[in-house]
Amino acid sequence: MDSYKQRPSSAHDSPYWTTNSGAPVWNNNSSLTVGTRGPILLEDYHLVEKIANFDRERIPERVVHARGASAKGFFEVTHDVSHLTCADFLRAPGVQTPVIVRFSTVIHERGSPETLRDPRGFAVKFYTREGNFDMVGNNFPVFFVRDGLKFPDMVHALKPNPKSHIQENWRIFDFFSHVPESLHMFTFLLDDLGIPLNYRHMEGFGVNTYTLVNKAGKVHYVKFHWKPTCGVKCLLEEDAIRVGGSNHSHATKDLYDSIAAGNYPEWKLFIQTMDPEHEDRFNFDPLDVTKIWPEDILPLQPVGRLVLNKNIDNFFGENEQLAFCPALVVPGIYYSDDKLLQSRIFSYADSQRHRLGPNYLQLPVNAPKCAHHNNHHEGFMNFMHRDEEINYFPSRFDPVRHAERYPIPSNICTGKREKNIIAKENNFQQPGERFRSWPADRQERFTRRIVEGLSDARCTHEIRAVWVSYLTMADKTLGQKVASRLNLKPSM
């Protein structure tokens, strides 16, 4: 054995107890004391190490999406999309790529119930041969705000009151009374879809618009959609109370048990694509994350399937330490100018450097499975073994060269500096159409949830009136109904 060679930490296989430094532990029951009754000696290094390790077990939870469950599997291309993208992992039908997926709720803490009304995260890490591609989506196709500058305030309003630590409707309805573009998202959150049955029975959406680039450099805007093969199912309020009352981790358990039983969850991946030259043809801005793209005009095109066939071995290593980032793309997939996406490109890695440390991408679950090389080095908890003398670029001693150039969007960006809202806001058409597409009982449940929220004693007349005006602009009957139940006159 080469005594200088590092052993991987997976060699956690000694037949007897040891300290972290490998010294044998001959008694793991009693502390080292003076006499039988103590006091305890500070020189009991094993005791100190054990307790110190325990004292530091928790790391900061994610600032949002703290509660989640993950599983592993593969993605398989089923349809040829090579005319749209040069992404290697999408190169041909039959190509498989290993993935890890994390589902989550958004607002509450790491141990909170999985039956709360909340959007669900649907994040997929593809370990491709050209680096990791993270599709960090949700179970709803739209979002609350279209500019990342509003995101921290939005999250603060949805999170518990900083004084009482209780989530309160008056704070939510107050904040969003200033954000009319959020109404579309509320037609998902306060719809029956607001509490998914579990993680297997929900859709996923990339939500933001990305760009596909083919070998010739031709670009298409793209939206991603995951459809579960077992269908979409939700919990109505009373079922949610029953399910959550008996198990606050029911969705994590459902995912784990299904995979353990060989009943592998599966989703089909579809895309909608748009030629950027057509982006002005719509009465909304296609890069506005509060809008869906109508499927009758931009139909869903099948791409592949996602199968989760392996449970994680360790929750901390493969869930808590797992780090997704919308900035992680591969050649053939690029961002768009969607303002919300642009803020997300910065935020995730920034948060993860704080939550997990600067070398979080060396953690096994986050590291690419392909070879990689650069001169970013050192830093806290760097455990990469490097034996080299050239840590600068360029160097005549270093044979590593640039990768082959790959196409990125070549559109010209011009304009003056400004802080502004987009031209085509169109905040109410899609929420109204969505509401009218529902049968009467579903409309009634939605209306009841809105009225319930606005009935919070601290929702002022002004807040209620603003909401009623938004609802009326989406759908007159809806606005009238909510107004009459709140004893308000609709303002329009």
Output the smallest distance, CB 349 to ligand HEM, in A: 9
Q: Is 182 in the site for ligand HEM (CB under 6 A)?
A: no
Going from the C-alpha of 364 to that of each of 56, 66, 193, 353, the distances in angstroms are 20, 20, 35, 16
Out of 46, 75, 87, 104, name the contact with ligand HEM by CB under 6 A.
104
Quick one: which segment of 39-47, 133-141, 252-260, 278-286 binds ligand HEM (CB under 6 A)?
133-141
Out of 73, 113, 141, 148, name the contact with ligand HEM by CB under 6 A.
148
Going from the C-alpha of 200 to that of each of 242, 264, 267, 272, the distances in angstroms are 19, 9, 9, 23
CB closer to ligand HEM out of 64 and 483: 64
Q: Is 151 in the site for ligand HEM (CB under 6 A)?
A: yes
Q: Is 291 in the site for ligand HEM (CB under 6 A)?
A: no
In whole angstroms, how large is the CA radius of gyration of the chain? 26
Out of 102, 159, 200, 434, name the contact with ligand HEM by CB under 6 A.
102
Q: How far apart are CA 366 and CA 357, in angstroms?
A: 13
Q: Do residues 138 and 205 touch, judged by C-beta distance below 8 A?
A: yes
Q: Is 199 in the site for ligand HEM (CB under 6 A)?
A: no
- Which amino acid makes up residue 120? R
Neighbouring residues of 355: CB distance < 8 A, sequence distance ≥ 6: 59, 60, 61, 62, 63, 323
Q: How far apart are CA 209 and CA 463, in angstroms?
A: 32
Q: Is 82 in the site for ligand HEM (CB under 6 A)?
A: no
Annotated catalytic residue, options 46, 108, 132, 138: 138
DSSP code at position 148 = G
Does the annotation count 385 as an active-site position? no
Going from the C-alpha of 183 to that of each of 175, 310, 446, the distances in angstroms are 12, 38, 12
CB closer to ligand HEM out of 240 and 328: 328
Residue with tokens 């590593």: 400
Q: Is 207 in the site for ligand HEM (CB under 6 A)?
A: yes
CB closer to ligand HEM out of 326 and 479: 326
CB closer to ligand HEM out of 352 and 359: 352
User: Taking CB under 6 A as the rule, which mask of x and - marks residues 439-468 in contact with ligand HEM?
Assistant: ------------------------------
CB closer to ligand HEM out of 214 and 351: 351
Q: Is 284 in the site for ligand HEM (CB under 6 A)?
A: no
- Which amino acid makes up residue 238? E
Q: Do residues 235 and 250 touch, judged by C-beta distance below 8 A?
A: no
Sites of contact with ligand HEM (CB under 6 A): 62-65, 68, 102, 104, 121, 123, 136-138, 143, 148, 151, 207-208, 322-324, 340, 343-344, 347-348, 351-352, 355
